């Protein structure tokens, strides 16, 4: 009986301590906000995807034309000091083309294409690579992709900006409600990297360029956007 009374007394004492702590503490309000930060980084790597597309009634002739042209392009690039390891086959495709006039399926030709992906870290070479390739027989420029090799510093700057943005928003909200930020309950973060897709690339397709005028391809690389976002739960009272 005495042991039971001691247990009950101890439980009441603990409950009283918890109640007193809650009563003495001030009510805290949580303010949940999101913050964003962005930093632009200069591109230092480019990948140019280009090649040859041809059509012929004879599938072997179409394939041979593509293969021969690709080898000419590859040789021309290497001759102009583009490293072999920076020239890679991107894709190769051959498909039949049909005519369905009068509801009759008729094979008319074969379309063959082959593309190379050429990598360079010299931004001044991007336009020259295109000129060299088209001069050797390429007739299709598929894509120019830019990227940055080191984004660690930019990521830190973007994250710092995102946290500051969140803090600024929280302080505005707290002040409007007559409160003051006293701490942080939790914080989560995420990153995103948007390289070049459309790129600010201005070029003259070799098919349209007049070689007699000496017109050259002009390419201007856009910058990589490094974005950071945070979700912070601030404490205010």
What CATH number is associated with residue 176? 3.30.110.170
Residue whose pair of structure tokens reads 């390891």 in the numeric block: 85
The last residue of a domain, from among 147, 167, 189:
147
The residues, ordered by sequence, that sit 6+ positions from 72 with a Cβ below 8 Å of its Cβ are 136, 137
Q: How far apart are CA 51 and CA 73, in angstroms?
A: 8
Q: What is the pLDDT of residue 10?
A: 37
Residue 5 within any structural domain of the chain: no
What is the Cα Rg of the chain in Å? 32
> Do both 74 and 168 map to the same domain?
no
> Do both 171 and 100 map to the same domain?
no
Q: What residue numbers bound the domain in which 188 lies?
A: 27-44+148-237
> Do both 142 and 154 map to the same domain?
no
> Do both 90 and 135 map to the same domain?
yes
> Do both 137 and 51 map to the same domain?
yes
Q: Which residues of the chain have pLDDT under 50?
A: 1-24, 196-213
Q: What is the pLDDT of residue 151?
A: 87
> Do both 116 and 170 map to the same domain?
no
Residue 195 within any structural domain of the chain: yes
> Do both 129 and 158 map to the same domain?
no
Q: What is the pLDDT of residue 18?
A: 34
Residue 231 within any structural domain of the chain: yes
Q: What is the pLDDT of residue 129?
A: 95
Residue 34 within any structural domain of the chain: yes
Q: What is the pLDDT of residue 223?
A: 81
Q: What is the pLDDT of residue 161?
A: 96
> Do both 56 and 40 map to the same domain?
no
Q: How far apart are CA 206 and CA 216, in angstroms?
A: 9
């Amino acid at each position: 009986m005495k042991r039971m009374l001691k247990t009950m007394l101890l439980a009441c004492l603990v409950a009283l301590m918890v109640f007193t702590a809650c009563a003495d503490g001030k009510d805290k309000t949580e303010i949940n906000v999101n913050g964003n930060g962005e930093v632009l980084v200069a591109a230092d790597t480019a990948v140019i995807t280009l090649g040859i597309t041809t059509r012929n009634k004879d599938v072997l002739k179409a394939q041979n034309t593509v293969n021969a042209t690709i080898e000419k392009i590859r040789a021309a690039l290497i001759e102009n000091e583009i490293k072999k390891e920076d020239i890679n086959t991107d894709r190769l495709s051959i498909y039949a083309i049909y005519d369905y006039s009068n509801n009759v399926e008729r094979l008319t030709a074969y379309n063959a294409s082959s593309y190379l992906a050429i990598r360079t870290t010299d931004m001044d070479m991007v336009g020259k690579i295109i000129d060299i390739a088209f001069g050797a027989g390429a007739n299709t420029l598929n894509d120019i992709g830019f990227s940055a090799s080191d984004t660690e510093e930019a990521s830190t700057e973007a994250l710092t900006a995102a946290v500051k943005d969140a803090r600024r928003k929280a302080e505005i909200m707290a002040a409007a409600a007559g409160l003051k930020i006293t701490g942080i309950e939790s914080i989560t973060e995420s990153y995103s990297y948007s390289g070049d897709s459309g790129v600010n690339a201005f070029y003259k397709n070799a098919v349209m360029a007049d070689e007699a005028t000496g017109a050259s391809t002009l390419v201007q690389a856009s910058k990589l956007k490094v974005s950071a976002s945070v979700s912070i739960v601030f404490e205010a009272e």
